[in-house]
Amino acid sequence: MNLLSIDIGGTFIKYAILDDDLTILKHWMKPTKKLKDKNEFYDYVCEDLDMENIRFVGVSAPGVIDAKATVISKAATNVQAMYLSNVNVEINNRLNVPVQTINDGKSAGYCEMKIGNGKDSKSSAYFIIGTGIGGCLCLGEQLIEGVDRIAGEFSNLPVGFYKDKPSKIIGLSKIASMTALVESYNQKANTQFMLGKVIIDRYLQGEELAKEVLDDWCKNIVMGLYMIVVMYNPEIICIGGGISEEDWFIKKIKDVFYNKVQSISEPTIHTKIQRCKFNSNANLLGAALYAKDTLTLA
């Protein structure tokens, strides 16, 4: 019997069939559609799935997900039909096999903690750079979720207040996500539609504006890493997201973290900074691992 893993994202829904050793036997994806209600959305997620020889399903999903698998926060526009729905119930009703759901940042972290670059660490954190900043904190092989299950939601780490809304907190994602890099460059270049890949290419080609913007962006990322070190001081922080696959980027973040930024109290810091071992498949593997571990024990 095999496992089905589903990674629901704001742009794509990814699928994988895995064997019991978590080897991916088949994987595919389709675009995420903005649908009017949860019934249409979950019908779309589950349509045309061959469930023969599938014993359970692991799901990675955006947003804060409570202990019963209800989505209790809104995420990207295309997935807002999931808000206040119970993912386990909705998918189980359509596929008729046990389902277990985990937040997407925690899914990537769970994968890295179990079989990736955080394996065997006593404490670890996972910092996933994308549209926002996904994340996960682990103590050994235990997820740290918090009383409201928002531990590891690094997008919301406070970095200031809006001048025009002095009671509204600015979260780390506003200055350290890939979206933040694009918005900063567009604002300074007086453009509107520059893509992150184009900005990075210009940086690597030596463009001064791209260098200025990316240098500031990397400092903001490192500020987030220092926040994690101060509040948790894990053995290792693994950085994920597409950009983490670039050797120059990991080298630059390590250089800024260890050499270019001075912390307030100047302690000796032993936390290691490393990239994630798995990137494009981390959520699929993490969801399958989490489902296998929790449903097998149930």
188/215 Cα distance (integer angstroms): 14
Asked if the model's pLDDT at residue 193 lies above 80, the reply is: no
> What are the tokens at 216?
């500031």
The predicted pLDDT at position 37 comes to: 94
Q: Hey, CA dihedral for 86, 89, 92, 94, is it positive or negative?
A: negative
The predicted pLDDT at position 135 comes to: 92
38/233 Cα distance (integer angstroms): 40
Is there a domain that residue 290 lies in? no
Is there a domain that residue 281 lies in? no
**Burial degree of 165 (CB within 10 A; 0-12, 13-18, 19+):** exposed
- Domain of 47, CATH number, reads 3.30.420.40
Is residue 94 located within the same domain as residue 216?
Answer: no
Are 239 and 129 in contact by the 8 Å Cβ rule? The answer is yes
130: three-class secondary structure by DSSP: coil
What are the CA-CA distances from residue 63 to residues 102, 128, 242, 267 (Å)? 10, 14, 20, 35
108/7 Cα distance (integer angstroms): 10
pLDDT in tens, 41-89: 999 999 999 999 999 999 999 999 999 999 999 888 899 999 999 999 9
Range of the domain at 228: 117-275
pLDDT in tens, 97-137: 999 999 999 999 999 999 999 999 999 999 999 888 989 99
Is residue 86 located within the same domain as residue 127?
Answer: no
Is residue 169 located within the same domain as residue 246?
Answer: yes
Asked if the model's pLDDT at residue 298 lies above 60, the reply is: no
Domain count across the chain: 2
Is there a domain that residue 283 lies in? no
Domain final residue pick, 71, 103, 135: 103
Is residue 127 located within the same domain as residue 231?
Answer: yes
Are 100 and 290 in contact by the 8 Å Cβ rule? The answer is yes
Is there a domain that residue 241 lies in? yes
% pLDDT > 90, the chain: 85
Name the pTM for this structure: 0.91
Is residue 99 located within the same domain as residue 126?
Answer: no
Is residue 139 located within the same domain as residue 247?
Answer: yes
Is there a domain that residue 61 lies in? yes
Is residue 143 located within the same domain as residue 37?
Answer: no
> What are the tokens at 74?
């809104």
Is residue 142 located within the same domain as residue 244?
Answer: yes
The predicted pLDDT at position 77 comes to: 85
Are 168 and 147 in contact by the 8 Å Cβ rule? The answer is no
Is there a domain that residue 298 lies in? no
**Left, alpha or beta for 69 (phi > 0: left; psi -120 to 50: alpha)?**
left
Are 75 and 63 in contact by the 8 Å Cβ rule? The answer is yes
Nearest CA to 150 out of 87, 67, 223, 81 is that of 67
Is residue 129 located within the same domain as residue 199?
Answer: yes
Please, which residues have CB within 8 angstroms of residue 217's CB and are 6 or more apart in sequence?
A: 175, 176, 180, 181, 184
Is residue 259 located within the same domain as residue 146?
Answer: yes
Is there a domain that residue 67 lies in? yes
The predicted pLDDT at position 100 comes to: 97
Is residue 214 located within the same domain as residue 81?
Answer: no
Is there a domain that residue 109 lies in? no
Is residue 97 located within the same domain as residue 143?
Answer: no
Domain final residue pick, 103, 135, 165: 103
pLDDT in tens, 238-285: 999 989 999 999 999 999 998 887 666 667 789 999 999 998 899 999
64/80 Cα distance (integer angstroms): 12
